[in-house]
Amino acid sequence: MAIDLDVNLNLPETPKGVPEELFSQFRILYNAIRNLGSYVSSLATSLAGETSIRGRTTLVAGTKTVTNTAVTANTTVFCTVQTLGTVAAPKAIHVVVTPSVGFTITSADVTDTSVVAWMFFP
């Protein structure tokens, strides 16, 4: 999900009665804000890609590996079953983190095909 922080002030010519030096400083601030907005927008776009910190996945035979290079040895992963698959009730799930690779979610039931939502903090 991209965040659009485009700022459009349509800078006019120096307003009548405003010293050019003062308005020049305003233009510098305006450009800094636009650059910051552009940076934050591109950062949000990249986080929505491979390095997203949240998502959903469907277990296959009770397991699923989520690939994400932002995962570190200190990453905390939270998971919750969203939709039951081949099980009548949610089963316990276990997560194993592999730094710079991702993490693997494993259900206590090897036939589990539930949808699991995940979120992590690197």
70 pLDDT tier (thresholds 50, 70, 90) = confident
Burial degree of 60 (CB within 10 A; 0-12, 13-18, 19+): exposed
* Count of structural domains, the chain: 2
- Evaluate whether 30 touches 11 at the Cβ level (below 8 Å): yes
Here the tokens at position 50 are 């491979």
Q: Tens digits of per-residue pLDDT, 42-64? A: 665 555 555 678 889 999 999 99
**Does residue 43 sit in the same domain as residue 3?**
yes
* Co-location of 78 and 40 in the same domain: no
User: How many angstroms separate the CA atoms of 120 and 98, rounded?
Assistant: 13
Could you tell me the two tokens for 35? 């650059």
For residue 1, pLDDT over 80 is answered with no
Does the predicted model carry a pTM greater than 0.85?
A: no
Residues 108-121: tens digit of each pLDDT: 999 999 999 999 88
Closest listed residue to residue 26, CA positions, set 9, 40, 41? 9
What range does the domain containing 68 cover? 54-121
CA distance 71 to 28: 38
If asked whether residues 86 and 34 sit together in one domain, one would say no
Q: Verify that 60 and 36 share a domain, yes or no.
A: no
Please answer whether residues 114 and 84 qualify as being in contact, where contact means their C-beta atoms are separated by less than 8 angstroms: yes
pLDDT of residue 44: 59
**Residue 4: what pLDDT?**
45
Residues 110 and 73 in one domain: yes
Q: Model confidence at 37, in pLDDT bands (50, 70, 90)?
A: confident
- Judgement on whether residues 66 and 97 belong to the same structural domain of the protein: yes
pLDDT at residue 5 in the model: 47
Which helix (H) or strand (E) segment is 98 a member of?
A: strand 93-98
